[in-house]
Amino acid sequence: MPVDFALAPQVADLVQRTEALVRDVVLPVETAHGGSAHDAPEDLRRGLQDAARAAGLLSPHVSRAFGGLGLGLRDRAPVFEAAGYSLFGPLALNCAAPDEGNMHLLERVATAGQQERYLRPLAAGEIRSCFAMTEPAPGAGSDPSALATTARRTEAGWVLNGRKWFITGARGADFAIVMARTSGEPGSRGGATMFLVDAETPGLTRTRDVDTLDESFFGGHGELVFDNVEVSADAVLGEVDRGFEYAQVRLGPARTTHCMRWLGTARRAADVALDHAAARRAFGARLGDLGMVQQHLADNEIDIEASRALILQACWTIDTGAPSGHLTSITKTFVAEAVNRVVDRALQVCGALGISGDAPLSRLYREVRPFRIYDGPSETHRWSIAKRAVREAAKRAEAGR
């Protein structure tokens, strides 16, 4: 099939309107709050989302049946990148993590009743959510099979016990999608089930917000305790013991959309460096005319374009239903590290200005560094990528004998 990188007219229009919203509304709010949304009031989120709703930009990733714009992944990419130009842009469009990934999962797996109860108000920005899988060591982290939180079946439904941490958006979330073990032991590759748990359910406690390098995720990163949390049988999301399978439904696209948003952040950092290099004079010339500075600026352009191309290929693969795990791992690893390189170079080009509060670069630097850890550390993805490549090479060798 031919490859066409031109944006459809309606998508190009969405990108332009997103850029205008970010420039005129969102960036001033981000600046006023120093980029920190961990403890921001709900009024901030609602105000930004009201502006996006008025501009016809709310929830571009959700199907029209649930109030969104119905964009496929390829069409989301430039819109999400435009939103990511501000740290608060994805929040404004209601396409920030973890809600965006949860909406995708609910649309794919939830029952009609669950979709009406959770997905529709989530897509409308009326409520927020979190995704509770990660646990303190030795529980689930980079290795999900270490899952230690348990769910025991009862006559009335299920009882959950365990501890989760680094749960993005936990503060103020109306419900959590919780991964718990319903069979097997920690280390078993199967036996996980997803549950929809309302925040006010007795026994569910947010014990603290984890102090982290980044500050832009609305609701922070919380630690949750499940102490004999009772839920009904209809709280099961999907089927019992298929939780790890459903996690892949969420995580593959979510890794890709993370890349889209953070690419917007990298582009903003590169623009700051370019503007500075074009205006600043040093050693008798414009900064941008000096060879070493030009190398930084050129390498930023290369990393941004290469990241965008990988993202689009991953989106095309997912949209067509082809196996995408290998490519999304490659994309997440490359883009996470490319975004870090771009912001680091931009800061270096701007020198003292870059590390000051007079430019956004020090703020962006803090925000992008965790991306090399979130949704799987680069090392874990490299291990997975290499394992698949070696396995395919072994198959070729065996077939050639």
User: Length of the chain, please?
Assistant: 401
Count other C-beta atoms under 10 Å from residue 17's C-beta.
Answer: 16
Residue 383 — very low, low, confident or very high, per pLDDT cuts 50/70/90?
A: very high
Q: Is 349 left (phi over 0), alpha (psi -120 to 50) or beta?
A: alpha
pLDDT of the residue at 6: 87
- Structural contact between residues 115 and 66, judged by C-beta atoms closer than 8 angstroms: yes
- pLDDT of 265 > 80? The answer is yes
DSSP secondary structure of 295-348: HHHHHHHHHHHHHHHHHHHHHHHHHTT---HHHHHHHHHHHHHHHHHHHHHHHH
Which single residue is written with the structure tokens 């529709």? Answer: 120
Using pLDDT thresholds of 50, 70 and 90, give the confidence band for residue 282: confident
Mind listing the domains of the chain with CATH numbers?
9-123 (1.10.540.10), 129-241 (2.40.110.10), 244-399 (1.20.140.10)
Instruction: Give the per-residue pLDDT at 5.
Output: 79
Q: Residue type at 222?
A: G
- Closest CA relative to residue 180, chosen from 167, 166, 157, 163: 163
pTM: 0.95
Q: What confidence tens digit (pLDDT) does each residue in 183-235 have?
A: 999 998 899 999 999 999 999 999 999 999 999 999 999 999 999 999 999 99
pLDDT in tens, 173-187: 999 999 999 999 999
Averaged pLDDT for residues 278-287: 90
In this prediction, residue 2 has a pLDDT band, given cuts at 50, 70 and 90, of: low
What is the pLDDT of the chain when averaged over all its residues? 96
CB 277 within 8 A of CB 247: no
Q: What is the pLDDT of residues 60-119, one digit of tens each?
A: 999 999 999 999 999 999 999 999 999 999 999 999 999 999 999 999 999 999 999 999
Range in 41-45, 125-129, 247-251, 328-332 with the lowest mean pLDDT:
247-251
Q: Is pLDDT of 3 > 80?
A: no
